[in-house]
Each structure stands twice: as structure tokens, then as C-alpha cells.
Amino acid sequence: MCGIIGISGQKNVFPDLHAGLLALQHRGQDAAGIVTFNKSFKLKKGLGMVSHVFRERHVPRLAGNMGLGHVRYATQGVNEELDAQPMAVNYPLGIAMVHNGNVTNFNQLRRSLYQENHRLVQTSCDVELILYALAAELETKNLAHVSVDEIFECVAAVQAKVQGAYSVIALIANVGMVAFTDPRGIRPLVMGQRYDDAGPAYAFASETNVFDYLGFETLRDVEAGEAVFIDMDRQVHTRTCFKKNPAFCVFEYIYFALEDSVLHGRTVAGERVRMSRPLARTFAATGLEPDIVIDVPSSAYFFASGMAETVDAPYRRGLVKNPHMGRSFISPDQESRERVVRQKLNPIKDVIAGKKIAVVDDSIVRGTTSRHIVRMLREAGAKEVYFVSASPPFQYPCVYGIDMSIKREMIAAKYSVEQIARYMGAETVVYQKLEDLQELYKDLPCCFACFSGEYPTELTSSELDEIEQERVCSKNK
């Protein structure tokens, strides 16, 4: 999972790109980068957080009235500066690109790009494949004057070839900015507008919270298989290029997106409260009566507070989060995740001691972090601990850009709920029911593959094995 932003305006966009990446930092902490265009591409990227990569000395060099930004959380390949985004090529046109997602036919595309177009993919980052695929399509057009129709034709050809999940923003030098999604719209992409003194500015981003910080009006989501092209005169052109049955990633609502973002017309905070209702009914069916309901900060707050209202138990803040620590889910290995949890969470003993506690988290993947949280609550004096997961059991790997781990590490793929509770040291574990989650989203087609194993895209068993093996190799490096 990554965060992307692109802005086309009439004044220097670097300050807005930088601020936008800070608003998207929760989506990736491995690397960050910005590219701007002013007669030529100006690029700066590196490993680490946004605040670590960019310094005041970079500001003058990165001035431009169009630009892209990216924060990376590595899912495909390893975390090296070579794989950081944005990426750019100079032939047949200057093209810079950022993306969020995961290409599932990576190896097939890499071979065909070399055999058919003589383009050698040098990194393990998916965006290089999409970048070269778009460049190869543009190469067949009249480069002296690429028309709007030709831009959309090239995008449609890329969407037909590139399988998986992706939201993409590309800068084409002296032509314009184009943003597009995969045919099923699995990964989020939203569009915004702002009127400056010099004229209109347009922006694309992974989440709408970026627009709130930058003073942009949110216009809409970029839909499944759609492309939006902003030409050099800031004229907007749209077309549905290559669309299949939509399947938006439901985990955006559960965990990745921030609570103040709006995706497909739904505020993330409100969606988490909605999900808490059936979760509370499932919990109530156990007959357990907690003294208090607490959350694992901060993505589980609306799940826990909403559930507390339904089960008629008071919500309390029982764990304090250190705001200077990153998100444990997107830390690169288990040792790092446990270190982050130890450093970022601290129980409030006066709230916990002697209580029967329902502790709500957004999910349980490996179970080791959840086990550590239960241990902390026990040490703080909890009488009983009921661990509640706002998402159903993870039993299948996500191949669309969320590194939920390889299947053999997913605790629910190997053990029963009772065995998981014993491992975690909790009295019981309660999961959201998959059928309840699917019922909530019957009016918004979503991807539930990590819970059900039903992948919405064309995915062969060999491709699935290749993705799994690649992740195994990455973990061993």
C-alpha cells in the first residue's frame, strides 16, 4: 500500500505536494519522493519518512507548476532507493509516474516488455512496468502532437495488459497529466479542484483528507477503469477506457484510510461505526458482559465506541498511543512490529485494573501483535480480556497491494478461533462475520479476497505462487 498525489496548477506546486505527502504518511513509511516539471523533470526521492527525505535546500530545485508525490510501503520487491517512486523515462516522451497497488502478472509483463519493446525492467517496483507499458503505447503515436483520444487509447491498452490493482498518476512532458485506475477500481483515487489567483488547479490523491489540508474541493472518485486527463491548458477530459466489474478494497475502510477521508461518498469514520453494529451483535451472542470496551489506537476507535453503544458497556480509552510512532501494520518485519507496539502503546492501569475488558482492534493477521497487547492488559491488572476483530479472519494473501503476510503466517489460516484465543492469552476471540460485512457493502461492489479467497481479477495459480514466493524471498533478505 502506498500514497500518491499529483497536482497540475499554474504556480509552484512543491509546497502542496510536500504537505500532501505528510497527510498521506500513514499509507507508507519506507520511502518518499517528489517529481516536478518545469521544462524538465526535477526529482528527489529517498528511503524513510517525508520529513527525513526532504530538506529546505531541496525547495528551489523542485519548483514547478506540475508534479507528483509518493510515499511507499513495499509490497512487491525489497525496500531499496532504486525502487522508490516517482520513476521517469525520457523516451519516446518524458514521462514520470507514481502508483499505488500491485501488478499480479509482473513476470509475464517484464518478459513481454523486453521481447516486444526492448525495454529492460531494472527494479522490482511495479510502477516501472506500468511506466514502460505506457511509454511503449505512446511510441506508436504521432509524438509531435499526441491527441486526447490517443492518450485514452494508450491508457486503455495499458489497462488491458496490466493485471492486478493500481491507481496511477502520470506526467507527460509538455502534454499534461493523466490519472487512471485498474479496470475494477480496487485501489482508491480521488480528484479535487482549487481556484488560485492564476487560475484553476487540479489534484489527484489516494484520499480526500489531502484536499482538506490543501484547500482543494473534492470533486469525485476516479471510477473503475476510468482515465482523467488534464492538458497543458488545464482543460479536463475524462473517459472510461477499460472497465470490468468493480471491486473496491474493503480494507481501505477497515484500516488503511484515515477516518476523515471520504471514499466513494462514504466517510471512513462513519463506515467503521456501521461495521461496529453487526460486530456488536456477534459479540453479544457470546453472552459475555464486559465492564468496559476499549480500542487499540487509533484505527479501531470508531469500531470500539460504536460497539460499546450497542452492547451497553461504557467505552473507555484504556491504551495511550505515542503519536510519534508509526503504524505497526506497515512495519517491514515482525521484530519491527513488536518494537513499534511496545513503544507506541501504554495501558492506563487505573482504567484496566480489575476489569473485564473487550479490546477492539481493526484486524488480526499474524496474532503476535494482538498477543502482546493482551499481555500488556494482563500486566496492567485486567481481570478478563475479550479480543474483538473488526474484520473477518484473514485466511488468504492479498495480492493487490496490502502486504498482509504470506499465507503460512496468517494465524486464522492454520488455527481455530479457540486455538487463537489460547495463543493470544485471551478468554475469547470474536471476529466480524464475513457475511455481515458483505451485506453492508451489497450496494458498493468490494473485494473481500483476503477473507474469502475469491480474487476478482484474472489470477492463475502460478502467478499466485510467484507472488507468494517473491514475498518469502523478500522476508529472507
From the CB of residue 477, how many other CB atoms can be counted at a distance below 10 Å?
A: 8
Handedness of CA 28, 260, 169, 465 (dihedral sign): positive
Backbone phi, psi, residue 281, to 5°: -65, -40
Q: How many angstroms from the chain centroid is the CA of residue 331?
A: 14
> Cβ(341)–Cβ(326) under 8 Å?
no
- Distance between CA 406 and CA 223 in Å, rounded? 30
How many alpha carbons fall within 13 Å on the CB side of residue 256? Answer: 25
Candidates 2, 125, 154, 241; catalytic one = 2
DSSP conformation letters of 73-107:
--SSS---GGG-S-EEE-SSS-EEEEEEEEETTHH
452: cis peptide before it, omega within 30°? Answer: no
Please report how the helices 148-161 and 126-138 are oriented relative to each other, as an axis angle in degrees rounded to 10: 140
Compute the distance between CA of residue 306 and CA of residue 326 in angstroms, rounded to an integer.
25
450 is annotated as an active-site residue: no
Q: Where in the sequence numbering do the catalytic residues fall?
A: 2
